[in-house]
Amino acid sequence: MLATFHLNKLKLNQGFTLLEIVVVLAILALVAGVVMPHTGKVVQRFQAAAERDEVFEQLADLCVQARRIARGFELYQYSAADSSLPLQLPEGWILQAETPIRYRANGFCEGGTVKLQTNDTIFMLNLKPPYCQPIL
C-alpha cells in the first residue's frame, strides 16, 4: 500500500508551472532580439563573398574564352554595363587594370595588376601569366 501512495505523489509533481514557461520564453525572446539584427549582416557578407568568388572564376576563365572565340582582346576598364568582354560583373562593380592586360587568341595572357572595386571594398589582384589566374 505504501508503494502505491508514493507513485501517485510523483505523478502529481511532474510538469512545469506557467511561471517557469513564461521565464524561459522571455529569455529566448531576449536572445533572439540580440542575435537577429546580426544575421542580416552575415547573410550580406556571404552574398558579397559569393559574388567576389564568381568574379574571380570569370577572370580565371578569360584565357579559355579568348581561345574558344579564337580572338584576342584587352582588359583595361570594365563595369557591369559593359558587354565587350565575356565577363559579367555584379551591379555597381568596376574592374580597372593599371596597364591593359592582353589576352591572345591562343589562350595566353601577358599578365598585370587589376583593381576590382565593389560598393564598399577594393581588391587588388595580380594576374600571373601565362594563364592570368587571379591572386589577391
73-79 β-sheet, strand order? 73-79, 94-103, 112-117, 122-128, 133-135
3-state secondary structure (DSSP) of residue 91: coil
Give φ, ψ of 88 to 5 degrees.
-115, 105
pTM of structure: 0.68
Quick one: what percent of the chain has pLDDT higher than 90?
24
52 domain-assigned: yes
Which residue has better confidence, 116 or 82? Answer: 116
**Cell numbers of 83, please?**
558587354
Angle (CA) 121-99-94 rounded to 5° is 30
The pLDDT of residue 49 is 87
Whether 23 is in a domain gets the answer yes
In a domain, 73, yes or no: yes
In a domain, 1, yes or no: no
Q: Judge whether 65 lies within some domain.
A: yes
Residue 83 lies in a domain: yes
Question: Is pLDDT at 42 greater than 90 in this prediction?
Answer: no
Range of the domain at 54: 16-135
Q: Is residue 5 domain-resident?
A: no
Q: How many domains does the chain have?
A: 1
Beta-bridged to residue 124, according to DSSP, are 115
* Assigned domain for 11 exists: no
Residue 9 pLDDT level (bands cut at 50, 70, 90): low
